[in-house]
Amino acid sequence: MIERLATTPFGGGRMTARHFSRQKAVEDRQKALAEGQGGNDSGEADKWQLLRALTEARQVYGLGDRTIMLLEALVSFTTERLLDGRAPIIVFPSNRELALRARGMAPATIRRHLAALVDAGLIFRRDSANGKRFCRRDDKGLVEDAFGFDLAPLALKAGEIYRHAEEARLLARAIRTVKAEITLHRRDMAKIIEIALEEGRKGDWVAYLERLGAAHLAGVRHASLETLNGTRDTLVTLRGEVETAYLNSLSEQELSANDDQTERHYQNSNADLHLETKGYESKGGEGVIPDEPPKPERLAVSLKRVMASCPQIADYAQGGIRNWADLVKTADLVRSMLGVSPDAWGKARAAMGEQAAAVVMAALLERADIIRSPGGYLRDLTRKAQAGQFSIFPMLQALERRTE
């Protein structure tokens, strides 16, 4: 004889084949556990740990955060921390009490979320003949029968819920990893393209910037792992192209990671580097220095603007930077820290003027994470200054755009 197989809902609620089969499965499971046939599954679960796991796996069951909140309110009406699904776990709160524990949820909203929990197979309705929720007690005050909501299905699904929660954690971890990779690729490429445009490097940098923007517009916030992997792979390919284009645009001097090697290259190169600059002439294969080299640029820029564009150099000043003399003195200190030789620094000061050279050194400090050979870079700028082709203003403007 079957004591209880299925309980139909009160009033207009419909009994579906799925609800019937679920109740039958729970009955069979409870009988198996009672007979010691559950194996490693005891049918018990800590209610708060289970709710936490269900929150992580809620997308698998199609549950929203407010539905989980209502289930938490229902679970709070049980007196034991451990949910034992081997027998019905009936809670019978009044509508008023349930609404209070659900943070003031409206009755219509409660009904909708209860239906979602029933549809997910996490609770059963155990309706009385008149639809009221209550319990009958025996002479000793123990609950003899109860009508309301049965939480046994939730306890019996504990193993399944924990498994889905672990899968959700692994997926979330994988998504975080890919998103971090995407962010790094985008940031690195943006900086490379920015410095390439700032330095006037040869290359289709605008097209690269447009492709990078298109990848950004694809969006990553709510994308699936498959979509994120596709975006990451696209960015990896684009990054390879960008880095190759930038490396191809570098001179032999800039490719050297060692300033000393760079300086020897400048001194020993068979090609006369002076031939590349404006104002030099070739006679018999030798570079001839013009009679009157360009005068150092007179700065028409305030120290305040320089410090706003290049704030890092102030960290190396003893007593702060209050005037141009302080900036020049600090730039000499930064020069040694960046590995720029005294010879390269002296030539820069002679060609550009002390103030402009100090501004350049402050700018190199701001770009220290990008410029591989500050000494070689400074020598290249020095040659441009000697040829009258150098100005600090584009450099300051580029740095100002970064801080906007």
Residues counted in the chain: 404
Higher pLDDT, 162 or 255: 162
For 349-373, how does the pLDDT look when each residue is reduced to its tens digit (9 = 90+)? 999 899 999 999 999 988 887 777 7
Query: Span 64-68, mean pLDDT?
Result: 94
Adjacent-strand bridge partners of 288 = 281
- Cα–chain center distance at 94: 45
Tokens 């994988």 map to which residue?
A: 174
Mean pLDDT of the chain: 79
For 182-200, how does the pLDDT look when each residue is reduced to its tens digit (9 = 90+)? 888 888 888 888 888 877 8
Q: Which of 193, 195, 208 is nearest to 394 (CA)?
A: 195
- Over 70: is that where the pLDDT of 180 sits? yes
The pLDDT assigned to 404 comes to: 57
The pLDDT assigned to 261 comes to: 42
Going from the C-alpha of 15 to that of each of 12, 21, 35, the distances in angstroms are: 10, 11, 29
Looking at residue 94, its amino acid is: S
The pLDDT assigned to 62 comes to: 92
Q: How far apart are CA 117 and CA 209, in angstroms?
A: 49
- Over 60: is that where the pLDDT of 257 sits? no
For 94-109, how does the pLDDT look when each residue is reduced to its tens digit (9 = 90+)? 889 999 999 999 999 9
What pTM was estimated for this model as a whole?
A: 0.53
Tokens 């755009």 map to which residue?
A: 401
The pLDDT assigned to 173 comes to: 92
Assess contact for 277 and 380: CB atoms under 8 A.
no
Lowest average pLDDT, out of 11-20, 55-64, 368-377, goes to 11-20
CA-derived radius of gyration, the chain? 37
Assess contact for 255 and 247: CB atoms under 8 A.
yes
Q: Which of 156, 153, 159 is nearest to 23 (CA)?
A: 153
Adjacent-strand bridge partners of 241 = none
The structure tokens listed for 66 are 């407010």
Query: Span 121-144, mean pLDDT?
Result: 76
